[in-house]
Amino acid sequence: MSSIKAKIVATARSLPENIMTNHDLEKIVDTSDHWIQSRTGIKQRHVVGENEASSDISTKIALTLLEKSQLSPTEIDVIIVGTVTPDHFTPSTAAIVQNNINAKNAWGFDLSAACSGFIYGLETGSSLIKSGKYNNVMVIGVDTMTSILDFQDRDTCVIFGDGGGGVILQPTKNNGIIDSLLHMDGSGGEYLIIPGGGSKIPASVKSVENRDHFIKQDGKTVFKHAVRGMADVSSKILKNNNLTGNDISLFIPHQANKRIIDAAAERCGISKERVLINIGKYGNTTAGTIPIALSEAVDDGKIKNGDYVLLSSFGAGFTWGSILLKWED
């Protein structure tokens, strides 16, 4: 087994300038600030401007990562972009970013795992680093969810926002990413789905009229599975590494719903002051939530050398997982 591990050497995030508050949504759909906050914890979300796409947000993230890591674009080996809102089916958002930052030696791809996109990307990037073949892997989680929201559906349009974040991974023989647990259950696919636009329901006048190109969600079913999935995988990864919630300096869960986050933290025995919650400011940015929160935590000095940091997610698919880090400066 390889002694090489992957460590995070730089973090970055980017949010669109435009902000949509709950009061703004009250003017569009039958909802209220109280209803949204009491059920989700969300107060506002960032939304893209006209002609602003996932690649634009990702390019800003990538440029910041290069600056922070003091790497040149040509030193990047791989670019992985976790997203369910790519600019196009093809070319990939990763290819657009590669061109935008002139990372001419990099290859890469988009990864579709919804809210688990960044976690899946981090595991994939870590595996590439551990192979010994790559030294600088860029992993970005980004989504422009407003591009697939039905603003006639109050159960979904109030939840999501736009934005993303990312990291640079490099080899280490010390700490870094020390464990991961990833899962998928395709039987849950129907409960959180964008029905149209693919080969099953290609774009047509009928698919547009049926609003098939917007995200659909069975909220109660997703909530039930998310609570169990995130709590189970987070507690199991701690047990596998002979740790308890008291050993975790910072828990960074996917920001889907404050009630889901609270339930997962309680199950793991992690006190509230060690749980990062920023859903009130950003809403659910899908693949963007964890890297945005991680970047904020690093910038705010909430993570120190040697700290155990726990990441956990749950998303459409169903997909879910957890990654355990021992932070290395």
pLDDT tens-digit series, residues 167-218:
999 999 999 999 999 999 999 999 999 999 999 999 999 999 999 999 999 9
Which residues of the chain, if any, have pLDDT below 70? 1-2
| 138, 131 Cβ separation under 8 angstroms | no
Q: Which of 22, 136, 257, 284 is catalytic?
A: 284
Nearest CA-CA partner of 313 in 256, 265, 262, 263:
256
**254 is annotated as an active-site residue:** yes
In the beta sheet, which residues pair with residue 176? 326
Partnered with residue 110 across adjacent β-strands are: 81
pLDDT in tens, 34-72: 999 999 999 999 999 999 999 999 999 999 999 999 999
Query: Which domains does the chain show, CATH number per domain?
Result: 5-174 (3.40.47.10), 178-278+287-326 (3.40.47.10)
157 is catalytic: no
Catalytic residue among 22, 46, 115, 157: 115
The pLDDT of residue 3: 87
| Cα–Cα distance, 284 to 299 (Å, whole number) | 21
268 part of the active site: no
| pLDDT of res. 1 | 52
Of the residues 46, 136, 157, 254, which is catalytic?
Answer: 254
Residues 317, 184 contacting (CB under 8 angstroms): yes
Spatial neighbors of 8 by CB under 8 A, at least 6 apart, are 167, 168, 169, 176, 177, 294, 325, 327
